[in-house]
Amino acid sequence: MTTTHRRCVCPGSYDPVTMGHVDVITRAATLYDEVIVAVLHNSAKRGTFGVDERLKLLHTALATLSNVRIEAFSGQLLVDICREAGAQAIVKGLRGGTDLAYELPMAQMNRHLSGVETVFLPGDPRFGHVSSSLIKEVAALGGDITGLVPEGVRAALQSRTGNPKGI
């Protein structure tokens, strides 16, 4: 019997990582031998969090997952990242129809370019309303984001604003 090391890539901006991301990555880690969390960033744009801080927040949030590797990439096609990593699949979460409409052409393009498959996991309804951009908006305007982001992210947002709720 031959055994194959099954690897997938979970790509994203992770600016910052949310509990929705953590849920999808945790589930991917049960389906694959190894998960590469690929932080894709634009080197010309800083984003809200710099890439080093995004990586640090991800490392803390995913510390208990022994088969997860976290790496940053810039200026590369996702399919090339997958090929170089030896990954057979891209894993993404879908919160609903809007996500599907956004993700489907990317999945089809990636399959067209290299044959790599995209595996969609249904998002946990507890996090259906959670996105990095909404988290930042709610936090900036004084809302409570507890439980929607890892504790380190809440603390990082809090230290930027001085608001104890993570704002």
18 interacts with ligand PNS by CB under 6 A: no
Contact between 10 and 58 (Cβ < 8 Å): no
Amino acid at 167: I
Amino acid at 147: G
Residue 132 designated active-site? yes
Residues sharing a CB contact under 8 Å with residue 43, sequence separation 6 or more, in sequence order: 74, 75
- Specify the residue, 109 or 140, whose C-beta has the smaller distance to ligand PNS: 109
Residue window 19-48: x/- pattern of binding to ligand PNS, with contact defined by CB under 6 A: ---------------------x--------
Contact between 93 and 118 (Cβ < 8 Å): no
To 10 degrees, the CA torsion angle through 104, 106, 112, 118? -70
In the complex, least distance from residue 21 CB atom to ligand PNS, rounded to whole angstroms? 8
In the complex, least distance from residue 101 CB atom to ligand PNS, rounded to whole angstroms? 13
> Catalytic residue positions?
21, 45, 95, 132
The binding site for ligand PNS (CB under 6 A) comprises 11-13, 40, 77-78, 106, 109-110
